[in-house]
A = this chain, B = another copy of it.
């Protein structure tokens, strides 16, 4: 999606070699117009699928998941990372490993909000090693539901998550696909490839 790639080039910052900071428009300050366009793009891509629910993980998946759900006109559910005071009813729980925090964390959804009749579109802001996505997929499976597709804002294609999940048969649509970083610059897939002429 060109508007997102342009924004990443303009306002994204590469820090510590391989961390892309998109706080300016995606996960601290939110460019709501861009976010709604991104939601519409993911909706257009999956609009032929019988999606009943959009599922994401708190915190930074919420804004894009809401935009996607708005166009599908279905509820959005965000999985929680910690036990909440009001999350006292039975929950589906799965585990993910955080490479940045170097520890396991739990991801949970109240069983009332995922069911065997759900065709779930899983949405997140980043896909790198795929730990969060795998935990979300696991929640949908526990509920007996179907994963109708996966929509991602920014995929780091040089990390293994996307490839692993595609090999398992999941369909992933990513709005911006990063091939790597060079001298603090973002290189998207298809960029810097040999031209035909």
Q: Are B77 and A15 in contact (CB under 8 A)?
A: no
Looking at A23, A24, A100, the one whose CB has the most chain B CB atoms below 10 A away is A23
Q: Are A86 and B19 in contact (CB under 8 A)?
A: yes
Residues facing B in A52-104 (CB within 8 A) are 58-59, 62-63, 66-67, 69-70, 73-78, 80, 84-88, 100
This chain: copies in complex: 2
Q: Are B28 and A77 in contact (CB under 8 A)?
A: yes
Question: In angstroms, how far is the closest chain B Cβ from the Cβ of A185?
Answer: 17
Residues in B neighbouring A88, C-beta threshold 8 A? 15
Q: How large is the interface on A (under 10, 10 to 19, 20 to 34, 35 or more residues)?
A: 35 or more
Measured CA separation A76–B157 after assembly (Å):
29
Which stretch from A32-40, A144-152, A158-166, A172-180 is at the chain B interface? A32-40
Binding site secondary structure of chain A: mixed
Question: In angstroms, how far is the closest chain B Cβ from the Cβ of A96?
Answer: 16
Question: In angstroms, how far is the closest chain B Cβ from the Cβ of A115?
Answer: 12
> Which of B28, B78, B84 meets A30, CB within 8 Å?
B78
Q: List 19 A-B residue pairs with CB atoms under 8 Å apart, sorted by A's residue number.
A: A15-B86, A19-B85, A19-B86, A23-B86, A23-B113, A24-B113, A28-B77, A28-B80, A29-B75, A29-B77, A29-B112, A30-B75, A30-B77, A32-B75, A58-B58, A62-B62, A62-B63, A62-B66, A66-B66
Seed contacts A19-B85, A32-B69, A63-B76; 19 additional CB < 8 Å A-B pairs: A23-B87, A23-B110, A23-B113, A25-B75, A28-B87, A28-B113, A29-B76, A29-B77, A29-B110, A29-B113, A30-B75, A30-B76, A30-B77, A32-B73, A32-B75, A35-B66, A62-B63, A63-B66, A66-B66
A residues near B, CB below 8 A?
Answer: 15, 19, 21, 23-25, 28-33, 35-36, 58-59, 62-63, 66-67, 69-70, 73-78, 80, 84-88, 100, 109-110, 112-113
